Amino acid sequence: MSDLATYESFNVEVKDHIAHVQFSRPEALNSMNKAFWLELPKCMQDIEANSDARVIVISSTGKHFSAGMDLGVFSDPKAVPMSGDPGRMAENLRRVVLQLQDTLTSLEKIRLPVLAAIHGGCIGGALDLVCAADSRYCTEDAYFTIKETELGMTADVGTLQRLPKLMPEGVVRELAYTGRKFSAQEAQSLGFVNATYENQDAMLDAVMAIAGQIAANSPLAVTGCKEMLNYSRDHSVEDSLRYMATWQAGMFRPGDMMKTFQAKAQKQAPEYDNLLPVKGLFES
């Protein structure tokens, strides 16, 4: 396994096929500054290309998971000009928003499952982020809010598009229109989080155990599950079944199944080959 890059916004550790990405700016409430938006997709790509990770856990440090978007991102005149031709300013802002959206979509595009372990406040842009994860878990004191509404803007990097797929739409509309906080207990009752835990240590122990179960399975089978679930979310049942048949025709091989059967017969844990690393076309 190659050494992973270091980042300003989070620490990364890979152990036992689990990549743990931990936000590391507690003094700034882990707000999502310019470095964060640039680093997150690079981090996902780095894990995929240069580690043997089969699952990713995202957690945080300090009092809150994240206070969301650092408003300094939009005060940089180089990124978001505040004067000049209105049409050109609007076109530039559109591209900035698309780039921010792509940052969080990197959690969906990576072929590895992403588990979010949330404590304290998960505010604004942080809620956008965890909506893009595969599964969410939180502490009993966690809370969530679509903060953008209260600030006088419409949330624009994923919550309004993904949350209605995860919770009843009428509830999502209420949360978006009011900007009110919703608690860990409400989030679990609505199916947004899989489980709640007494404290952060208990949550991380449980989430790492789940990640370990995922990592013990065939990585080819797991990535197939993620690909099919993401596709099915956005397409009809018929289209999804047809894609499933095509995927299976191209990707299914009996090797991993044979390893599973042999391991069970020998009462051992099966050992699967890692997926081939994701590299650029001309990278060695």
pLDDT of residue 47: 96
Q: Record the pTM.
A: 0.93
In terms of residue numbers, what domain contains 109? 10-216
Query: 273 lies in a domain?
Result: no
Q: Contact at 8 Å (CB) between 81 and 108?
A: no
Number of domains in the chain: 1
Q: Which residue has the tokens 């939180």?
A: 138
Output phi, psi for 107, to 5 deg.
Answer: -70, -30
Query: 155 lies in a domain?
Result: yes
Distances (CA, A) of 157 to 98, 112, 129, 181, 263: 8, 21, 8, 19, 44
pLDDT of residue 257: 86
Nearest to 43 by CA among 78, 89, 91, 10: 10
Query: 3 lies in a domain?
Result: no
- 249 burial class (0-12, 13-18, 19+ CB within 10 angstroms)? exposed
Query: 264 lies in a domain?
Result: no
- CATH number for the domain including 206? 3.90.226.10
pLDDT of residue 195: 98
**Amino acid identity, position 121:** G
Non-local (6+) Cβ contacts of 177 within 8 A are 149
Alpha carbon distance 128, 131 (integer Å)? 5
Query: 62 lies in a domain?
Result: yes
Cβ atoms within 10 A of the Cβ of 196, count?
Answer: 20
Q: Which residue has the tokens 């969530």?
A: 144
Query: 50 lies in a domain?
Result: yes
Structure tokens at 275: 């997926």
Identify each DSSP E strand in the chain by its residue range.
10-15, 18-23, 55-59, 114-118, 121-123, 135-139, 143-145, 181-183, 195-197
Query: 266 lies in a domain?
Result: no
Cβ atoms within 10 A of the Cβ of 252, count?
Answer: 13
Non-local (6+) Cβ contacts of 43 within 8 A are 5, 7, 10, 12, 21
Query: 154 lies in a domain?
Result: yes
Encode the chain (284 residues) as per-residue pLDDT tens digits: 457 899 999 999 999 999 999 999 999 999 999 999 999 999 999 999 999 999 999 999 999 999 999 977 777 767 777 778 999 889 988 999 999 999 999 999 999 999 999 999 999 999 999 999 999 999 999 999 999 999 999 999 999 999 999 999 999 999 999 999 999 999 999 999 999 999 999 999 999 999 999 999 999 999 999 999 999 999 999 999 999 999 999 888 788 888 888 888 888 889 999 998 877 655 65
Nearest to 7 by CA among 33, 42, 31, 32: 42
Q: Contact at 8 Å (CB) between 241 and 229?
A: no
DSSP symbol at 77: T
